Structures are given as C-alpha cells and as structure tokens.
Structure 1
Amino acid sequence: MEFLTATLAKAALGALGAVARRRLSILIYHRVHARPDSIFPHEPDARSFDQRMRFVARSFNVITLGQAVKHLAAGTLPSRALVITFDDGYADNAEVALPILRRHGLTATFFVASGFLDGGRMWNDSVIECLRITTKPALDLEAFGLGRLPLTEASDRRAAIEQLLPRIKYLTLAQREEAIVRLQAITGVAALPADLMMRTDQVRELHSSGMEIGAHTVSHPILGCLTLGEAEIEIVESKRCLEAMVDAPVDVFAYPNGKPGQDYQAEHARLVKKLGFRGAVTTARGVAQTGDDLFQLPRFTPWGNVLPVWSMRLLANQWRRDFPLAASCANRQ
C-alpha cells in the first residue's frame, strides 16, 4: 500500500509538470511521540512518522530550508522539492524523529527555542501536563473564564487544554508564568516534567548528523506583543546561543506561532533579514515558489491518520497560493 501510494503520488506530481517543478512544500512538525498519545491521538508517533517519511523519501526531493532558500533565490528549485521542519526543540525530535530520518536518508531543519534547553519547559506544555497529571475528575477554571470542566475522559482533558491555551497564549511572559502557577494550584499538580525539551548535546547530535539548526527565539514569545527592541533581543540571543552550541552559522528562522499579521508583523520580517538570516518560515498554509518573500515562507502538514488521505492532502496543497503575508520585505534593505 505504501509503495503504491508513493508511486501514485510521484505520478501525480509528474503530471503537474512545470507547476510541481516550481513549487516548494514545507512540512511543519513539533513532537513525534514514541507511542500514541491518549490525549492527542492525532499527533504523530514513531510508527506513523516512519510511514510518512518513507512516503516522503520515495516521492519528493528533500532538502534543508537553507538549501531551499538558495534555490528559490536563484530560480533553481529542484522538481518535487520538500523541506521537513520541526519547531520548539522537543527531546523526542532527537530521540524518536532523528533515527527515523536517518533510516530514510532524509535531512530536516530544527527550529530551537534556546531558552528551554537542558531542563526547561514551554508554557503550553505546562498547561498540557497539568491537565494530563491531575487526578481531579473536574476543574473549576473560572479564574480563566471557563467555568467548571469535566476531566473524566482523555477527550475531556484535550477539550480543556484547547480552551485554556488561547486564554494564555497572548499574555506577556510574566503573565504566562503567573497563569501556570495559578493552574498548578487549581489542578493540584506540584511537579511538572523537566525532560520534554532537548539537551545541548542532543542539539549538537542533530547538527553532527547533517540536520540544519534554525533559531526560534529564546522564550517563544508572540513577537507582535513585544516592542521591536525586545523582539530583536529574543531573536539575536537565540541565534547567538545556537551558533555557539553547534559552532556553525544559524541563518534560518521560524516565527513563534507564526501567523502573519497577528503573531508577527512586516517589521519583524525586515528585522530578521537585517540580523543576517537568509530566510524565515511562518505557519501560513501554502507552497512557496521563486519570487516569494524569503522571510515569510508558508508551511503545511496535512492531517489524517491514514497514509493515502495524508498524502493526497499534501499533494492538494501544491495548488494553494492564497496564504496571507504581513507585507513583503523581499528586496528591502
């Protein structure tokens, strides 16, 4: 089935002809669980990720984002070009995803939020783990404007998490910390895991394995909620830290959360260019082609637990050209 799906996909891309040759798909991942997650069963685990990477290896020409940016700028994008990216810096990227990528001869770009390495934890994972660990059958979340929510089933916990995250996402960093302290008190969870993110040696292992390391700020703030000076510090310090870590240039960037015009603005795209990066990615859906703004490239990973559905959605994305941009910063100095 997998071989047939890959064969059909390659034929479909071939039928696209010049369109497929000019377009770049960029996949976006965060975590790859060792086993299926009961709360988030739609997130990839080792088995499903291996299946998809086998399909990608048979159907596409996989390159790093840095290579893709170079080809886009020169108009030399190879046919069936695709980039695999990971955001944030989760430990399972090195422990689960890396061996699978190696097995299929693939390379990928990993955008690391440097401030959470070596025992740190992102705020959203604090929310998730509070709701995962708590033994309470229901929670009074009136402090977050949500009222009382049941936690009997895994689906209840997922629903509570999905309601909580947008209530906290656009707060300041200090307000996020206060919200997590409040949530821990409500859930009765005193200790949260300190092994979710990569260690320094794992970032180095990715780099030594031929993977590309990109910057993703220090503390993963919403750049649009910061002053431009604060945003510059977040971006510069992340770049500096990671370059020292891998002893190599870090010249590609991913905007935290990544929605154009909402999570970052055109001024941030210009800032990223000014700071010496060669390209940057958003979370706007679509494909890239020569002439696009190299500092606002779209990304898209299809959903679906069945490979044929997943692959067809990936192919269908080749036709999308409606992704919004904050503004074009290409060719500006």
Structure 2
Amino acid sequence: MKHWVKSTLRRAPGMRALALRGAALFKSLARAEAGLYTLCYHQVPEAQQDQFAAQLRHLGRHGDFIDADSAIDRLAAGWPAGERAFLITFDDGYADTFEVARPVLNALGVPGIVFLVSDWIDAPPSVPPGLDRVTSLSPSGRLYMNRSEVMAWCADGLDVGSHTATHHRLSRLDRDRVADEIARSRRDLAAITGREIRHFACPWGVAIHDFDPGRDPALALESGYHTFFTTRRGRALSAADLPMLPRHVVEPHWPVSDFEALMGGRRTGWRSTGTAMGTAKGTA
C-alpha cells in the first residue's frame, strides 16, 4: 500500500507538490534531527543547473556535506549528537551528472558519489530503465557517462559506487544471478577506476518490491561492499543502518520547500519563522 501511494504521487506531480507544500508549513530543516541524510539524484538537466546549485546551498546552511567513506566512519563510531550531514548521490551515471552536476559540486566544494551500472559504460541503453523515452540529453547530446568521464570524475576526488551490472530488479532474480550482478559490477568498476568500490545502491531500492531485504544486503556485504543504499526515506545514525541505508530521492527542479517537508523537523509554531521556503536562485 505504501509503495502504491508513493508511486501514485510520483505519477501525479501536482498532487505531490500540494502535499509537500502543505507539509513544509509545519516542518523546517533548521529543526531536522541529527543524523546522515542521503539524497539521490538522477538526471540534472542543463536548464536546472542553477536550481540544483540553490538546493545544495540551502542544504549547506543546515548541515555539513560528507563523502560516503567518511559517513561510514561516523556511523560506525555512532553518529555524534547534534550533528547533521548530507551525502549527495547520483544513480545510473547520466552524462549530465558529469557535465552539469559535477561543475556545481566542484564550485561549491561538495563531495558526491555516482552509482554506475557497470555494463552500461561501454554499452549504454538508448532510454533510461522503466521509461519509454529519453527525458533529456546532456549538453554533449549523450545520455550516459563514458569511460573518460568516469576517470575525470574520479580525478576530481569524487567517488564511484555500484548500481549493479545491468540494472535488473533484484527481487525478480534468483540468488546466483543477484550475487553475480553485485560482484561482477564491483569487479568491473574497480578495473575501470583503479580503486576499491565500497558502496552499493540498489536499483529502484524499495524493500520487497525491488529487492529481498533478507537476502540482497547480505550478499552485497559478503561481496566486499561496506554499504547497501535503498530509497527508504529517513536518516542513518549507526552501523546498524549500513545494510539498508535510507535515501531521499529528489529532483533538481524542486523548490527548497520540498526539502524542508521531506527532511525537516517539526516547527514549534504553525507560523514559526525559519529558513526561506521559496526557491533560491544562484549559479555554480
């Protein structure tokens, strides 16, 4: 039922916008609880670069940005009381992650990690998974990152994680096939980047619907990953969260009030003053 509601809201952006606008009246990032908040982006079109930069600036007013490895260390030690941090992630390896989002990350000094589908680096699909058309192409006219861009991303000090080998829904595969998707992707990405691949993000990421929570996180950890990221909303506080880390799926065109609604804590008063609720403007 919960998955159905989420899917319905995603297909009805007007309804979703009204729901979040209402929630933002009562919630504020300035009052968000301590913990690790992970954001999941997909495409970042060139026309939305300024809005993406504004979102990061807004988040930076309410916590620190952290890279995935540092987040592991903090969670393993027990999250420090009163600390709030944001981890910026990108799924699928779209070319505009490199061409549009990367300059913003570099300009603002924000760490980020892209979860790549290893087989797509040399043989990318013509359309994103689950869609019947391309929603937008990068400024260069391509849909996915190539090998040289993956290497340039790494050279900038940004991180790479696995999003499986082929982006199949793990819940529909048998154990051996899931193990291969997880392990092969880690091996191939390590060969391309020359670095250990420590982090795994499950395609789509909804427990039971998209992966087997009693099987797949354990397979990932057994393969050598330190994390298993889902799309369950929430915050992480300890090492116990590493096998099923929450992430907030967000879009670069959303107003910052949506971030208040999704991650903020309850305001003390209905008309309490807090952070700006309108969309901020800025350039990278």
Alignment counterpart, residue 54 of structure 1, candidates 57, 70, 89: 57
- Equivalent-residue separation in structure 2 for 1:200 and 1:263 (angstroms): 28
Counterpart amino acid of residue 94 in structure 1: F
Correspondences of 1:15-164 after superposition (within 5 Å): 19-20=33-34, 23-35=35-47, 45-77=48-80, 79-118=83-122, 120-121=124-125, 124=128, 127-129=131-133
Note if contact 1:115-1:218 (Cα within 8 Å) is conserved in structure 2: yes
Query: Which of 233, 239, 257 is equivalent to 2:204?
Result: 257
CA distance in 1 between partners of 2:105 and 2:135 (Å): 31
Do the aligned partners of residues 209 and 236 (structure 1) sit closer, same or farther apart at CA in structure 2, a change above 3 Å counting?
same
Q: Is the 8 A contact 2:162 2:185 kept in 1?
A: yes
Q: Which amino acid aligns with 1:100?
A: V
2:234 to 286, 289, 297: 286
1:235: Cα distance to partner? 1.1
Q: Would you say the 8 A contact 1:207–1:246 is kept in 2?
A: yes
Unaligned runs of 5+ residues in structure 1 are 1-7, 36-44, 133-192, 320-333
Query: How far off is 1:196 after superposition?
Result: 0.5
Structure of higher CA gyration radius: 1
Q: In structure 1, how many angstroms separate the alpha carbons of the residues matched to 2:121 and 2:92? A: 10
Regions of 4+ moved over 2 Å: 56-59, 122-132, 301-308, 314-319
Q: Which amino acid in 2 is paired with 1:57?
A: G
Residue 267 of structure 1, aligned match among 210, 215, 222 = 215
The one-letter code matched in structure 2 to 1:220 is H
1:114 to partner: Cα distance:
1.1
- Inter-CA distance 212–305: structure 2 relative to 1 (3 Å threshold): closer
Distance 2:93 2:156 in 1: 16
TM-superposed deviation, 1:53 = 1.5
Which of the residues 294, 298, 323 maps onto 2:246? 298
2:106 and 2:135 map into 1 onto residues whose CA distance is 34
Query: Per-residue CA shift, 1:148-184, capped at 9, x if unaligned?
Result: xxxxxxxxxxxxxxxxxxxxxxxxxxxxxxxxxxxxx
Report the counterpart of residue 324 of structure 1 in structure 2.
none
Q: Which amino acid aligns with 1:32?
A: V
**Higher RCO structure (Cα 8 Å, ≥6 apart):** 2
The partner residue of 2:157 within 194, 205, 210 is 210
Identity score, percent: 30
Residue of structure 2 equivalent to 1:222: 169
- Secondary structure of the residue aligned to 1:84 is strand
Q: What amino acid is the match of 1:46?
A: Q
C-alpha displacement of 1:51 = 1.1
Aligned to 2:15: none
By percentage of residues, which structure has more helix?
Answer: 1
8 Å Cα contact 1:29-1:86 kept in structure 2: yes
Separation in 1, partners of 2:94, 2:123: 11
Unaligned runs of 5+ in 2: 1-26, 268-284
CA distance 1:92–1:318, shift in 2 (3 Å): farther
Q: Distance in 1 between matches of 2:95 and 2:266?
A: 31
Residues 233/301 of structure 1: CA separation in 2 closer, same or farther (3 Å cut): closer
Deviation string, structure 1 residues 213-262 (Cα, Å, up to 9, x no partner): 10111110011111111111111111111111111100100011111112
Alpha-carbon deviation of 1:76?
A: 4.3
Larger mean CA deviation between 289-298 and 88-97 belongs to 289-298
What is the CA distance between 1:122 and its match in structure 2? 6.1
Q: Confirm whether residue 195 of structure 1 aligns to residue 142 of structure 2.
A: yes
Compared CA separation, residues 82 and 131, structure 1 to 2 (3 A): closer
Q: Which residue identity lines up with residue 225 of structure 1 in the other structure? A: R
What is the rounded CA distance, in whole Å, between the counterparts of 1:128 and 1:60 in structure 2? 38
Aligned to 1:312: 260
List per-residue Cα deviations over 1:43-89 (Å, max 9, x = no partner). Answer: xx212101111222333211122221221111144811110110011
SS of match in other structure, 1:310? helix
Give the TM-score normalised by the residue count of structure 2: 0.75
2:18 equivalent in structure 1:
none
In structure 1, the partner of 2:21 is: none
Asked if the contact 1:283/1:298 (under 8 Å) is kept, the reply is yes
